Structure 1
Amino acid sequence: MASMIPASQLRNTTAPKKYTKVNGITKLNPAWKRWKDAQQDGQPGTTALYPKQALPVVTNMEDHKKLCEASVAAGGEEIPLAEATVATMEIMQEPEIALEAGMAADEVIDELGKVLNKYEVPMGLMNKLMVLTEYDLLEFTVDDSGSMNNTSDTVDAHRHPQTRWQEAQSRLKAMLEILAYVPFPQIHVCFLNRSDRLVLQRNGRSPEAFMADAYQQIDQAFRRPPSGTTPVLERMHESLARGEGRNVSRYLFCDGQPNGGNHAKAEIVRMLMNRPNPQGNPMTFLSCTGDDDQVEWMKDAEEIISYCAECDDFNDEADEVHRDQGTALPFTVGFYLICSLVAAMNPDDLDAMDESVPFTKSTLDNLLGIEHDERTYRHYFDCFLAAQRKRTVDRDDWGRPKRTDQLKKSFNWKPLYQDFLQAPLANQIPAVQNFKMQLAQ
C-alpha cells in the first residue's frame, strides 16, 4: 500500500487513482495525495485543508473523466457535469469568445483547464469568471504606505516570511494568471501614494504572452519600496469620479486604517453605499496584514455595502469558510482566488458563505461543476451542521456574546434539509429570509 511506502520512494512512480469512494461518497484518494506530496518535495498535494472530509475538486475534463472512472469502479454511475458548467464551456469555445481570451476555440478548454488544475479551481467557477466581460475596467489599487514594509502573517512559495508588500504582489500576480485565460476588459494597477498607473491589455496576445508582460511591469513597479501614508478616501473619491458612467470593478490591497481615522472610514462607507449602479461597480477589499484590528473596518464595511466583499489571505479565509460552511466544502487556493476576483459580484453564493447559511444542492452543484447525488449532498449538509455545533461565540467590544454569532450557532437548519435539497437558491427558502432578517437587525 502507498501509505506504507516512504515518501522518498514515491517520487517518479505511477500515480494512484486520483479519486476513490469512501462510504459511498467520492473523495480525493489519500494515496494519490501522498503520492502528489512526494512529487512536490513535501508541498501539499491539495490546498483543501480537510481533504478527508472535502468533496472532490474537479478542475478540468481530465479530472472529470477520472472522477467518473472512480464512481463506476465502485459500482456507481458516471457523474455528470452541472448544466451551468456545460453551458459555460460551450460559450467559451465560441470563436469570438476564445479569441478575446487569446486562444483558438479548440484549445481554450484545455488551456484554461491547466491553470484551473494548477490552483485547484472547481470547474463550476468558470461560470463566475465570465461576468468580468460585463465591466469596462478592472482597477487594482495597491496600498504603498510605509507599513506595507512590515512582515505579513503569510509566507512565500519557499515557506519564507514575506512583507505585506510582497504578499500584495504575489496575490495580484496569481489573480492575473487566472485572468489571463479568460476574456477581460483592460486592467489598471495603481497605488495610493505614487502616480504610477500600469495599463494591462490583451491586445490579441496569448495568455502566456500577456502574463509575461504583465508580470514584468508589476515586478518593476514593486521594486520601488512602499513609503507614505494611507490616503484611501482620497483615492476612492478620485476613482469613483473618474469612472462615472462606466462599469468598473475595483480592488484595494490595504493593510490598515485610512488617513483621517474614523471620519475617513465613515466617509468611504458613505461613498460606496451611495455610488451609482453598485452592481456595475463592485468593490473588493483585499486585506494584507495579520493585525486584524487594523482592517476590521473593511470587514464591517462589506456587511453593509451592497456588491462589496472583503478577502483576507488564504489561510484566514479558509478558516472562516470552514467555520461557516463546514469541512466538506473544498475551499482551495483556486476557490479563494476566484472569490478574490468575483465574490463581490455574487452576493447570493460566493459572498454569502460567511452568512452561515447552507448552500442548496443546486448551488453546490453549480459552484463545484458536477451534479452530486443526494448522499454526497447530505455529507456536505451534515458537515455544515457539525461546523455550526462547533462554532465559538465571539464577544463584542463590551465583552458581551455577539448576537450574530449566537444566532448563527443556534439557528435550527436540520429540519430544513429537504428545502435545501430542492430549492434552486437558499434565498428562496422562507426560513433563510427570516434568518437574514434577524441577522440584519
Structure 2
Amino acid sequence: MYGNPPPTAPHGGGAQPKKYVKVNGVMKLNPDYKRWKEGQGVAATTVPHADQALPVVTNMEDHDALNQASIAAGGPEIPLSESTNATIEMMQEPEISGEAGMSPETMVDELGAVLNKYEVPMGLMNKLMMLSEFEYLEFMIDDSGSMTLPSDTVDPATGKTQTRWQEAKKRLKEMIEVLAYVPFNQIVICFLNRPDRVLITRNGRAPPVLLADCNQQIDALFNKMASGSTPFLERLQESFARGANRNVARYFFGDGVPNGGNPAKAEVVKILCTRQNPEGNPMTFLSCTNEDAQVEWMKDTEELAPYCSECDDFKDEADEVLKDQGVALPYSYGFYLVSCLVAAMNPDDLDAMDESVPFTKGTLDNLLGIESNEASYKHYFDCFIQAQQKRTIENDDYGRPKKTDQLKKSQNWQALYGDFLRAPEAKMIPAVQQFKQALMS
C-alpha cells in the first residue's frame, strides 16, 4: 500500500485522496477516496464490493492516476491493454472520429468523459466500435398496457419506483447517450402497437447536438402512454423481412409473454435459432418488469439462440455476475450499460459472464483496458473460484438438483490456473470445451 493517504475529512472536506491504492500487490479503488467522495454526497462507484474489486479505469485521467498510485507503491507503470491501445489509435483517425461527430484530437477525451460518467472500463471502447458494422440499430419498444405497471427499479431523481415504461425510456436514453459518442450508421426506434418509426442519423452532428435531438424525440414518443397488447412475434417477423440480407442489431424492451403464449414463444426461438447470419443480426432482450416469471422466456431464448443476449435491470444483472464471477470483477453500471449494447455481439466474453468459466488474463485485461499484473489476475481468479464454491444448487422443475449447478460447483478450475493465465481465450482450453459440452448434454 502506498504511503499514508490523506485522512478523510467529514462532509467531503480536506485534500482529495488518491483514487487508487495497491493492496497486497493488487490495485484497487482507494477506500479513503471512496469515503471522501461519499462525504461530498457523490457516489464514488457503482461496483458492488468495491473494497475487493479490481479498479475501473475509465479514461486517460484515470490511467494516469492508476500509474501514480502504482509508482508510489514502488511498482511499475501499468500499460493499457493491446486492444485499448489499438482502439485509441483508431479513434485518432479522421475518418473514424468524423463518423462520431468529433475531431481526431478530441474524440478520446470526449468519449472518455462519457465512459467516466457511467464508470465504463476503457477496454469496452473496443466493443463499442463494433456498432458501426451494422446498417442500423433497431430499438423495438413494447408499448402494451402492462408497461404502465410498476417495475422493480427506482428513479434516482425521485426515489420512487418506476413504471416499466419509465424504465424503458431511461435505459434507452442512456444507451443512446453512449451511442452519440461512437460511430454508427442509423438508429431506428419503433413500437409493437403504434406505427411510429423514428430514424436517427448523425448527419455530421457533434454528440451533444445529436443527443439533444434524440432526447427530444424520445420524450415525445414516450409522452404517449403505452396501451395495447404484445404482438412481438409479428413485429419480429416484419423486422427480419425488412432487414433481409442486411446487418441489423436488434434490441427489444419488454415486460412479458408475447401474444399467442407458448406457441408464439416457440416461434420466436425458432426464428432466432434459424436466422441467417446470426453474427450480423444480434438480438438483445432488455426486460423491464418486477415479474421475472413473465420474462423467463427471454432468458431461455438467450440460452438457445446464437448471438442473443438478455439484460435485466442493473441490480439483478450485478447479482448474477457476482454469483458467477465473484467479487473481484468490477461490474459497474457502465459495464452493464455497454453490455446492454454489445453483449449479444460478444458471446466469448461479455455474454459469457454467466457461464461459470473464468476469463483468461488476456480477456480480462482487454475488457478492463489495462495489463494487470499477475497478482491482480490471481485475485480475480481466486474470487471466481470462491464464487463457484458458494454456488447454491437449485432444483429443477421436477424437484431434482440441477445438473448444471452441480457441474459448475464441482468443476476444478483451480488446477488449470496456468492455462487461464497464458491462453488468449478460454474457449481455446480443452477443459473449457469439455465443460461446455457437459453443460449442454
Q: Distance in 1 between matches of 2:320 and 2:308?
A: 17
Q: Distance in 2 between matches of 1:314 and 1:86?
A: 29
Equivalent residues of 2:8, 2:32 under 8 A apart: no
Q: Distance in 2 between matches of 1:221 and 1:134?
A: 27
1:283 is matched with 283
Task: Give deviations 1:92-145, integer Å, cap 9, x for gaps.
Answer: 110010000000110000101100000010000000011111100100001111
1:427 is matched with 427
Equivalent residues of 2:134, 2:185 under 8 A apart: yes
2:192 is matched with 192
Alpha-carbon offset, residue 405 of structure 1 = 1.2
Shift in alpha-carbon separation, 1:197–1:14, aligned structure 2, 3 A: farther
Q: Distance in 1 between matches of 2:290 and 2:67?
A: 41
- 1:163 aligns to 2:139 (yes or no): no
1:28 is matched with 29
User: Map of 1:252-401 to 2, 5 A cutoff?
Assistant: 252-401=252-401
1:408 is matched with 408
Task: Give deviations 1:164-209, integer Å, cap 9, x for gaps.
Answer: 0000000000001100000011000001111111111111000000
Alpha-carbon offset, residue 282 of structure 1 = 0.3
Shift in alpha-carbon separation, 1:3–1:266, aligned structure 2, 3 A: farther
Aligned-partner SS, 2:16: coil
Q: Distance in 2 between matches of 1:401 and 1:4?
A: 49
Aligned-partner SS, 1:68: helix
Q: Distance in 1 between matches of 2:115 and 2:288?
A: 24
Q: Distance in 1 between matches of 2:257 and 2:396?
A: 20
Please, which moves more after superposition, 390-399 or 97-106?
390-399
Equivalent residues of 1:102, 1:181 under 8 A apart: yes
Q: Distance in 1 between matches of 2:267 and 2:94?
A: 45
2:227 is matched with 227
| Amino acid across the alignment from 1:109 | V
**Identical columns (%):** 65
2:122 is matched with 123
Equivalent residues of 2:8, 2:36 under 8 A apart: no
Aligned-partner SS, 1:285: strand
Q: Distance in 1 between matches of 2:103 and 2:81?
A: 24
| Amino acid across the alignment from 1:364 | L
Q: Which runs of 5+ in 1 are unaligned?
A: none
2:248 is matched with 248
User: Map of 1:79-158 to 2, 5 A cutoff?
Assistant: 79-158=78-157
Q: Distance in 1 between matches of 2:410 and 2:6?
A: 43
Q: Distance in 2 between matches of 1:5 and 1:73?
A: 22
Task: Give deviations 1:56-110, integer Å, cap 9, x for gaps.
Answer: 0000001000000000000100000001100000001100100000001100001
Q: Distance in 1 between matches of 2:7 and 2:72?
A: 21
Alpha-carbon offset, residue 2 of structure 1 = 6.6
Q: Provide the alpha-carbon RMSD of the alignment.
A: 1.0
Equivalent residues of 1:3, 1:34 under 8 A apart: no
| Amino acid across the alignment from 1:19 | Y
Q: Distance in 2 between matches of 1:15 and 1:227?
A: 50
Alpha-carbon offset, residue 38 of structure 1 = 2.5
Aligned-partner SS, 1:355: coil
Relative to the length of structure 1, the TM-score reads: 0.97
Aligned-partner SS, 2:353: helix
Q: Distance in 1 between matches of 2:160 and 2:33?
A: 27
Equivalent residues of 2:138, 2:187 under 8 A apart: yes
| Amino acid across the alignment from 1:154 | T
Kindly tell me the number of residue pairs found equivalent between the two proteins.
Answer: 436
Q: Distance in 1 between matches of 2:418 and 2:285?
A: 36
Task: Give deviations 1:357-411, integer Å, cap 9, x for gaps.
Answer: 0000000000000001111100000000111111111211111111111111111
| Amino acid across the alignment from 1:59 | T
Aligned-partner SS, 1:75: coil
Q: Which runs of 5+ in 2 are unaligned?
A: none
Q: Distance in 2 between matches of 1:138 and 1:195?
A: 18
Q: Distance in 2 between matches of 1:34 and 1:218?
A: 37
Task: Give deviations 1:190-243, integer Å, cap 9, x for gaps.
Answer: 011111111111110000000000000001100111111111100000000000
Q: Distance in 2 between matches of 1:207 and 1:147?
A: 34
Task: Give deviations 1:321-347, integer Å, cap 9, x for gaps.
Answer: 111111100000100011000000000
Q: Distance in 2 between matches of 1:37 and 1:214?
A: 32
Q: Distance in 2 between matches of 1:120 and 1:18?
A: 13
Alpha-carbon offset, residue 3 of structure 1 = 6.6
Equivalent residues of 2:363, 2:425 under 8 A apart: yes
Alpha-carbon offset, residue 4 of structure 1 = 6.1
The runs of at least 4 consecutive aligned structure 1 residues that moved more than 4 Å come to 1-4
Q: Distance in 1 between matches of 2:117 and 2:425?
A: 30
| Amino acid across the alignment from 2:29 | L
Equivalent residues of 1:189, 1:197 under 8 A apart: yes
2:19 is matched with 18
| Amino acid across the alignment from 2:294 | Q
Q: Distance in 1 between matches of 2:340 and 2:291?
A: 20
